[in-house]
Each structure stands twice: as C-alpha cells, then as structure tokens.
C-alpha cells in the first residue's frame, strides 16, 4: 500500500494543500485499490468448490438428457449474434 503524504509549502493556503493532496491520491490509485479489496469476495473452501462442480456436472447431464428427449431446445437454437 502506498501512503500519500503532502507537506505544506511556505506561503501555500489550505485549499492548495487539499487540492494537491486530492490530485496525488487520484494519481496513486489508492481509492480504486481499496474499493476492489472492500468488495472482493472471500475464497471458497475446497468442499464448497467441489460441491459446486458436482452440481454443475449434474445440471449439464440433466440438460443433455432433456435435449435428447426433445424437451429442451438444443444449444444451436439460440438467436444469431448472441454468445
């Protein structure tokens, strides 16, 4: 973490110091980094990762079965231009 430090120059008023400080903070990127850390989710436990993977595998298998039975649209039936 980079700390931003500003010292008041002789003959400089408070507004100038605040202006220089805010410019320095913006250029250093402290605020975006702190926001990304604030809203970052925590890492999931290996058990949760495994359970999610198993759920996705089961869901894909169920969907493939429904496609084979004709009860669900195939992946090629999507609108053109969509990804």
Tens-digit pLDDT profile for residues 5-16: 888 999 999 999
CA 65 from chain center: how many Å?
A: 34
User: Domain residue spans in the chain?
Assistant: 1-41, 46-77
Which residue reads 């970052």 in tokens? 40
Residue 5 to residue 19: CA distance in whole angstroms = 13
pLDDT at site 78? 60
pLDDT at site 81? 67
Which of 35, 31, 28 minimizes the C-alpha distance to 6? 28
Predicted TM-score (pTM) above 0.85: no
Per-residue pLDDT of 19-48, as tens digits, reads: 999 999 888 888 888 888 888 788 899 999
Helix axis angle, 14-28 relative to 30-38, nearest 10°?
A: 60
Which residues are within 8 A (CB) of 72 and not within 5 positions of it... i.e. 6 or more apart?
63, 66
């Amino acid at each position: 973490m980079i700390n931003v430090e500003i010292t008041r120059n002789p003959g400089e008023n408070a507004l100038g110091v605040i202006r220089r400080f805010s410019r320095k903070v913006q250029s250093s990127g402290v605020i975006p980094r702190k926001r990304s850390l604030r809203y970052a989710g925590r890492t999931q436990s290996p058990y949760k990762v495994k359970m999610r993977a198993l759920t996705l595998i089961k869901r894909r298998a169920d969907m493939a079965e429904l496609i084979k039975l004709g009860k669900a649209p195939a992946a090629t039936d999507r609108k053109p231009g969509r990804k």
